[in-house]
């Protein structure tokens, strides 16, 4: 089907200078109908050296627009300090590159974005302020809006020259994101929030730029996620067998809000994100058949609807930026809850793979269909008669192996300092000298965005832990309760869970599991500490916890795969009462990502919303049984965002210090070609060594986490811009104990494996 008088790919010299909605169509300043065939690509997830290449691939696939979020915390990681110029943060350059490729831009500046990005793009320092001052995020709360104003006052003036009317590429601005899951714009307080956002955009960008919101179709139909006179787009997954019936239902709901307006799918999910934890639903969605995706795109083309492929190119979650997921309980051989954490790779099974390739495992659906090639052919058949042919796809990206000096080209890794080594703590910690406080505090309360915190407990006296254990047993807490009292407690727990089930049918799966879990605690919790020299150390902590008593590692890295309502970790800590000289404790807490998505109307305020959504990280409480630990705490903030301050090297071990147990730095070196033309992208592979889970740095840059045995890929993508000609330094912070350096090596390969 060919469409006369319709812009599908802007012609040279005919790029629109405005875009507005007129009836069922988007219309340019010249009066021509514009169908938006967009692809989502996040400038902050793609190496800046590859921005132009990836945009060219979008255009060659047949798309005429690119959509991108703007993460607030990416540009204001520290309160009041804005960065729009350093690597992967020059959003204006990205917009101008899109214009050079004749791509329109759908600009999505939040302030909340989800995007499987830490805390949905909201800054950690903002969470800390909200926790301390008691104001609400994503609402009309004036304290929150003051911070939004400050961010958009920095961002939007930079965008104004890039609007279509000013010769740029920005065609539309999205307000907020999927708000109908969180709030209800029919309510005055939430309506005021959206009115404020619109007023801000109009003040900075003028009266004519097109505004949109997006939500699932039911939230759109009910008007929960936007304003009555702002076009509401819909988000959908290509997972229904009857595609046309599904689209008719979705757009029918959208018409209840939009009336006679353009049909726009803001997110047609081309795959799904991957998580470290195994999740059958996420795996199935990641493996979305390519043919199924093509069926949806064809149906959208046939009804002249506009759409965005989410994602067209996914990219990489470098550093500590991936979020935690919101995963419901699972049933199987055992009942378990978990918060899942998004992986370093954000490939998304998108048409354009993480490394830019078209073909291979990541460019294909589970049915073997090449998504990129299929979409290019499909979109080419639906082009207007006046449009030129699609540009040729760029040459495949270059990938290479970098051999090391070890066996078969491996890069040998040498053990360096323990993370707890005094010299390492001195060079890695941020802020001033640690102060002693009576209780540990979450990392957000001192403005820390990511990384880890080491909490060092100083007992009131050397025997404090031993005395606390004695008191716990003397008070009868460690005694074995009789059978029938345990039955009564279990029944009461089950009744409590059933009550929640009755009051909130949407939570039935969650609360029924909660009832069983509470009952199991009633039967089993006392069985674990019946020995007189043991007692439960109860930590209120998120996410991954390592514990030392003195210099002895007593708890290896422990991830609390908890239900979202229960952020308590109960660790077995055996303390010898005869040994009074080891009364100090070190608790290392690793932030694996804050939740990016939380449906407020689903959970309800009564279920502890502030503690669930306000996803603080670190340690906020510690006790033996029900008694707080007597003494003080010293806090070492360890952002570990990069190792540039150490010239890309691992911290040196203290003079005369013995090798520590637990998280440890390893360092290796390898050599790249001296010619710039010899550098290419690569993959860091861990299969050859003893590595379990940790963080990798190349020349000081934080590549992200690796995790053996996880559901997501083990290998890490390394763009060529991170390699240096000649000598390169590689550092691993391995979280699990590595008993021997034998075989401690990695590889750089041209494939992920």
Give the active site residues.
Answer: 178, 267
d(CA 546, CA 567): 16
Q: What whole-number distance in Å separates Cα of residue 627 and Cα of residue 475? A: 11
* Distance separating alpha carbons of residues 3 and 51, to the nearest angstrom: 31
Cβ atoms 306, 36 nearer than 8 A: yes
Q: At CA 742, angle to CA 739 and CA 743, rounded to 5?
A: 115
Q: String of b and e for 200-225 (b: at least 16 CB within 10 Å)?
A: bbeebbeeebbbbbbbbbebbbbbbb
Classify each residue of 491-516 as buried b or exposed e, where b means 16 or more C-beta atoms within 10 Å of its C-beta.
eebbeebeebbeebeebeebbbbbbb
**DSSP notation for 602-654:** HH-GGGTHHHHHS---EEEEEEETTEEPSEEEEEEEE--S--GGGTTPPPPPP
- The Cα–Cα gap between 510 and 500 comes to 9
Return the H-helix or E-strand segment holding 466. Answer: helix 464-474
Beta strands 414-418 and 664-672 are: antiparallel
- 546: phi then psi, degrees, rounded to nearest 5: -125, 140
Which residues, 6 or more positions from 281, have their beta carbon under 8 angstroms from its beta carbon?
A: none
- Residue 547's nearest CA partner among 585, 584, 580 is 585
Axis-axis angle for helices 142-159, 188-205 (nearest 10): 30
The Cα 561–Cα 544 span in angstroms is: 9
Question: What residues are paired with 482 via a beta bridge?
Answer: none
Q: How far apart are CA 619 and CA 724, in angstroms?
A: 39
Closest CA to 623 of 489, 472, 478: 472
Nearest-CA neighbor of 541 among 615, 597, 632? Answer: 615
Among 695, 493, 468, smallest CA distance to 585 is for 468
* Percentage helix, strand, coil for the chain under 3-state DSSP, each rounded to 5: 30, 25, 45
Distance CA 506, CA 7 (A): 44
């Amino acid at each position: 089907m060919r469409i006369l008088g319709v812009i599908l790919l802007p012609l040279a010299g005919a790029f629109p200078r405005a875009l507005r909605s007129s009836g069922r169509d988007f219309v340019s300043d010249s009066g021509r109908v514009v169908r938006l065939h967009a692809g989502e690509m996040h400038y902050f997830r793609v190496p800046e050296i590859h921005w132009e290449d990836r945009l060219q691939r979008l255009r060659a696939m047949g798309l005429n627009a690119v959509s991108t979020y703007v993460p607030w915390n990416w540009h204001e990681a520290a309160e009041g300090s804005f960065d729009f110029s350093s690597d992967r943060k020059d959003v204006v350059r990205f917009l101008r590159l899109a214009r050079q490729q004749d791509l329109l831009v759908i600009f999505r500046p939040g302030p909340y974005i989800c995007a499987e990005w830490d805390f949905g793009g909201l800054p950690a320092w903002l969470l800390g302020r909200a926790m301390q001052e008691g104001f609400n995020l994503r609402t009309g709360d004036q304290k929150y809006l003051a911070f939004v104003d400050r961010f958009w006052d920095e961002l939007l003036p930079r965008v104004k020259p890039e609007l279509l009317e000013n010769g740029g590429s920005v065609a539309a601005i999205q307000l907020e994101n999927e708000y109908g899951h969180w709030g209800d714009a029919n309510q005055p307080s939430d309506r005021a929030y959206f009115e404020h956002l619109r007023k801000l955009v109009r003040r900075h960008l003028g009266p004519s730029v097109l505004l949109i919101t997006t939500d699932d179709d039911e939230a759109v139909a009910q008007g929960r996620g936007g304003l009555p006179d702002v076009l509401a787009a819909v988000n959908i997954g290509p997972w229904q067998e009857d595609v046309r019936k599904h689209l008719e239902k979705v757009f029918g709901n959208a018409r209840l809000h939009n009336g006679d307006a353009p049909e726009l799918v803001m997110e047609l999910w081309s795959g799904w994100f991957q998580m470290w934890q195994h999740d059958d639903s996420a795996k199935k969605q990641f493996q979305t058949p390519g043919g199924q995706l093509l069926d949806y795109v064809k149906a959208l083309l046939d009804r002249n609807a506009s759409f965005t492929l989410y994602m067209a190119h996914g990219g990489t979650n470098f550093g500590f930026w991936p979020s935690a997921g919101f995963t419901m309980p699972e049933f199987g051989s055992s009942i378990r809850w978990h918060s899942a954490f998004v992986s370093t790779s954000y490939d998304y099974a998108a048409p354009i793979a993480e490394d830019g390739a078209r073909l291979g495992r990541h460019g294909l659906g589970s049915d073997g269909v090449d998504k990129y090639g299929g979409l290019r052919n499909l979109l080419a058949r639906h082009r207007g008669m006046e449009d030129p042919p699609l540009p040729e796809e760029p040459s495949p990206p270059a990938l290479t192996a970098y051999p090391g000096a070890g066996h078969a080209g491996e890069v040998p890794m040498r053990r360096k300092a323990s993370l707890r080594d005094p010299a390492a703590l001195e060079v890695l910690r941020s802020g001033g000298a640690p102060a002693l406080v009576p209780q540990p505090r979450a990392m957000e309360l001192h403005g820390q965005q990511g990384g880890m915190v080491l909490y060092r407990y100083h007992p009131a006296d050397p025997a404090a832990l031993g005395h606390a254990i004695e008191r716990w047993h003397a008070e009868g807490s460690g005694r074995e309760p009789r059978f029938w009292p345990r039955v009564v407690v279990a029944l009461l727990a089950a009744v409590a869970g059933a009550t929640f089930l009755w009051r909130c049918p949407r939570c039935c799966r969650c609360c029924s599991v909660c009832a069983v879990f509470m009952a199991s605690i009633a039967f089993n919790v006392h069985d674990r500490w019946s020995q007189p020299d043991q007692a439960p150390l109860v930590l209120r902590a998120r996410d991954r916890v390592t514990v030392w008593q003195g210099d002895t590692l007593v708890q290896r890295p422990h991830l609390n795969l908890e239900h979202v309502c229960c952020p308590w970790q109960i660790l077995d800590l055996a303390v010898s009462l005869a040994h009074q000289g080891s009364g100090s404790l070190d608790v290392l807490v690793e932030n694996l990502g804050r939740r990016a998505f939380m449906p407020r109307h689903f959970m309800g305020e009564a279920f502890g919303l502030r503690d669930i959504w306000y996803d603080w990280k670190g340690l906020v409480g510690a006790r033996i049984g029900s008694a707080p630990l007597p003494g003080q705490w010293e806090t070492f903030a360890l952002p570990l965002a990069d190792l540039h301050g150490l010239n890309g090297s691992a911290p040196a071990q203290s003079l005369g210090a013995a090798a520590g147990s637990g998280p440890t730095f390893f360092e290796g070196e390898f050599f790249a070609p001296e010619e710039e033309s010899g550098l290419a992208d690569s993959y860091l592979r861990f299969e050859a060594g003893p590595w379990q889970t940790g963080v990798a740095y190349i020349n000081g840059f934080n590549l992200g986490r690796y995790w053996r045995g996880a559901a997501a890929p083990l290998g890490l993508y390394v763009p060529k811009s991170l390699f240096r000609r000649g000598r390169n330094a590689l550092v691993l912070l391995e979280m699990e104990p590595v008993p021997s350096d034998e075989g401690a090596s990695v590889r750089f390969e041209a494939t992920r494996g």
